Amino acid sequence: MKRRRTYASYWEFSDESARDKGIVARFVSSVGADVISIAPGTLHARGHDDPPDCEALATDGARVAFELSEIVDADAVRMHTQRRGLHFREFTQSEFRTLLNARLEAKVREEGELKGGPYARRILLLHTDEGMLYPAFCEEALELRPLLHFAPWTDVFLIFPPPPHFDGTTTSHPRLCPVIRIQ
């Protein structure tokens, strides 16, 4: 089991497969059936046999691929790891779009590269726990200049941890996370 990092760690799980499956499950429960409905017991992580990171069957029987990518500032992670104090990256809207485009570009694949297909839907989930990237800021940044759509993804979403209550606890529905549809 790998050591849990201390910075932007909401999406860290005990192992990679548990993390991937957990992120997809939280996404599915957060967006609801009008976006995607997964048949019970069909979601599984593909482990090292990726891409995609996970796959499932929709309730209509269609096969769905999920690929995941984290939006995190590597310098902030490094500073926390080296115990060099608290450092939270404050992004400008332009820097955020540049970072997002870089993650999207890194996930460009030919549809034939996705193992286990064919897939009716190919969903790219970008997840973040960056303290200074919050949904309203990201939505505003995306309104200024739309991102390009990168094949083969039919849908692209950005998912955030659930917002905390003022008493420091999470919402009464800890699995519900803010989600922004990018494409």
Residue 122: name the closest of 160, 149, 102, 162 by CA. Answer: 149
Structural domain includes residue 4: no
Structural domain includes residue 160: yes
Structural domain includes residue 11: no
The parent domain of residue 60 ranges over 16-181
Instruction: Supply the pLDDT for residue 58.
Output: 96
What is the number of domains present in the chain?
Answer: 1
Structural domain includes residue 6: no
Structural domain includes residue 1: no
> ∠ CA 97-102-106 to the nearest 5 degrees?
150
Structural domain includes residue 61: yes
Helices 93-106, 135-144: crossing angle, 10 deg rounding: 80
Structural domain includes residue 94: yes
* pLDDT tens digits along 103-148: 888 887 777 788 888 999 999 999 888 777 888 988 988 887 666 6
* pLDDT tens digits along 18-73: 888 988 998 999 998 889 999 999 999 988 888 899 999 999 999 999 999 888 77
Structural domain includes residue 9: no
